[in-house]
Amino acid sequence: DQQVKQNSPSLSVQEGRISILNCDYTNSMFDYFLWYKKYPAEGPTFLISISSIKDKNEDGRFTVFLNKSAKHLSLHIVPSQPGDSAVYFCAASELGPATDSWGKLQFGAGTQVVVTP
């Protein structure tokens, strides 16, 4: 039972344009959402996160939007650059006081982004 879904396995975008990656979830207990970026043969690198008390978080060229009623989040990359070509994973964790819950993430299957010159 996949609780986090990324329905687009791939995305191709021109350099300088906006990349929009989407993610849907089913578990209403998720309270924290993250995006990771992964290059081939490397581990995922943390990119940006958002708490369920917010609906937007911005960090440079990266913005994450959260729509709790729709159980949907998206990552916007503006402008897209060739170095952004990677696999992007959406992840979520449940509300919980124990610190071990912070690392117990549910991941989507990832979206391969290719930025063309």
Residues at the contact surface with another protein, assessed by CB under 8 A: 2, 4, 6, 32, 34, 36, 41-46, 49, 89, 91, 93, 99-100, 102-110
Q: Check if the beta carbon of residue 92 is closer than 8 Å to that of residue 34.
A: yes
17/102 with CB nearer another protein = 102
18/102 with CB nearer another protein = 102
Q: Check if the beta carbon of residue 66 is closer than 8 Å to that of residue 56.
A: yes
Q: How far is the CB of 65 from another protein (least distance, A)?
A: 18
Q: How far is the CB of 19 from another protein (least distance, A)?
A: 19
Q: How far is the CB of 36 from another protein (least distance, A)?
A: 8
**How many Å apart are CA 112 and CA 12, to the nearest integer?**
8
42/69 with CB nearer another protein = 42
79/106 with CB nearer another protein = 106
C-alpha closest to that of 51 among 72, 66, 36: 66
Q: Check if the beta carbon of residue 63 is closer than 8 Å to that of residue 55.
A: no
> Is residue 72 within a helix (H) or strand (E), and if so which, with residue range?
strand 72-77
